[in-house]
């Protein structure tokens, strides 16, 4: 089995208009060189309104960053006012779609059943889901991290074959660490990312577990990325706040230079 390619993803959430988004990608492109891109896959997840602008820029300038989205609907088309479907995204050369981000689960009420349907739709349209899982502060305090994460994996990956899971990305994002400045210790992050890999192995087989790439997310910064990336079961990071600034996101993508 070939080594897993590290993957660092910038989730811009509901930030930046398309002018600002273009500027950010241009600045980022000056900071990241060929060697950086040979060492890590970089994915960018703008708002839906910015995807076309970023696609055009990546295409025109031949930039190696990959285009991502933050969400999609599970149906291909239909009477779903305000929603965006997977085939609409794949037509725009989107390659990665975040499914089940905790902000959508907690604030918008997305269910595991819906997340599972989204994962399947993204795969059906030949894009890669970045499935996000993680526990709240209360669940952590009640020692329920393991049952929460295992339960999410069982439900969100139901009916998805091992070979497909091997091609996916799973992001472990403890909800209490998102946007709070609190980061799981590298050892804690490794413990849960190890649990994610073991669970994938039990549910989908050893090859799926060996292939799936696991990201940590939650207050990732240039100062903590190296230690996080040094953990055995962590293959990447899903970055929120620090991905909105070219300099800090570039330093995160260049984590290896700190070693």
Residues that bind ligand 13P (CB under 6 A): 11, 101, 173, 178-179, 217-220, 238-242
Closer residue to ligand 13P, CB minimum distance, 124 or 221: 221
Closer residue to ligand 13P, CB minimum distance, 138 or 245: 245
173 is catalytic: yes
Please answer whether residues 252 and 224 qualify as being in contact, where contact means their C-beta atoms are separated by less than 8 angstroms.
Answer: no
In sequence order, the 6+-apart residues with CB closer than 8 A to the CB of 143 are none
Work out how close the CB of 12 gets to ligand 13P at its nearest, in angstroms, rounded to a whole number: 9
101 is catalytic: yes
Work out how close the CB of 173 gets to ligand 13P at its nearest, in angstroms, rounded to a whole number: 5
Closer residue to ligand 13P, CB minimum distance, 100 or 162: 100
Catalytic entry in 41, 45, 73, 101: 101
Work out how close the CB of 96 gets to ligand 13P at its nearest, in angstroms, rounded to a whole number: 12
Residue nearest to ligand 13P (CB): 240
Work out how close the CB of 183 gets to ligand 13P at its nearest, in angstroms, rounded to a whole number: 8
Active-site positions read 101, 173
């Amino acid at each position: 089995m070939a080594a897993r390619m590290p993957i660092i993803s910038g989730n811009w959430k509901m930030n930046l208009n398309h002018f600002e988004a273009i500027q950010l990608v241009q600045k980022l492109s000056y900071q990241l060189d060929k060697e950086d891109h040979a060492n890590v896959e970089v994915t960018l997840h703008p708002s839906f309104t910015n995807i076309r602008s970023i696609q055009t820029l990546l295409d025109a300038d031949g930039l190696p960053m990959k285009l991502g989205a933050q969400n999609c609907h599970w149906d291909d088309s239909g009477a779903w006012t305000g929603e965006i479907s997977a085939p609409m995204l794949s037509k725009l050369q989107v390659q990665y779609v975040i499914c089940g981000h905790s902000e959508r689960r907690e604030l918008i009420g997305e269910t595991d059943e819906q997340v599972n349907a989204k994962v399947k739709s993204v795969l059906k349209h030949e894009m890669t889901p970045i499935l996000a899982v993680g526990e709240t502060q209360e669940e952590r305090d009640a020692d329920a991290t393991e049952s929460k994460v295992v339960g999410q994996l069982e439900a969100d990956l139901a009916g998805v074959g091992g070979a497909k899971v091997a091609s996916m990305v799973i992001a472990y994002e403890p909800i209490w660490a998102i946007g709070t400045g609190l980061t799981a210790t590298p050892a804690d992050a490794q413990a849960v990312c190890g649990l994610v890999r073991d669970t994938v192995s039990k549910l989908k087989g050893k090859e799926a577990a060996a292939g799936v790439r696991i990201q940590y997310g939650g207050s990732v910064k240039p100062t903590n990325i190296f230690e996080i990336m040094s953990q055995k079961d962590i293959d990447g990071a899903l970055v929120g706040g620090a991905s909105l600034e070219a300099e800090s996101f570039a330093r995160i993508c260049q984590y290896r230079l700190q070693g």
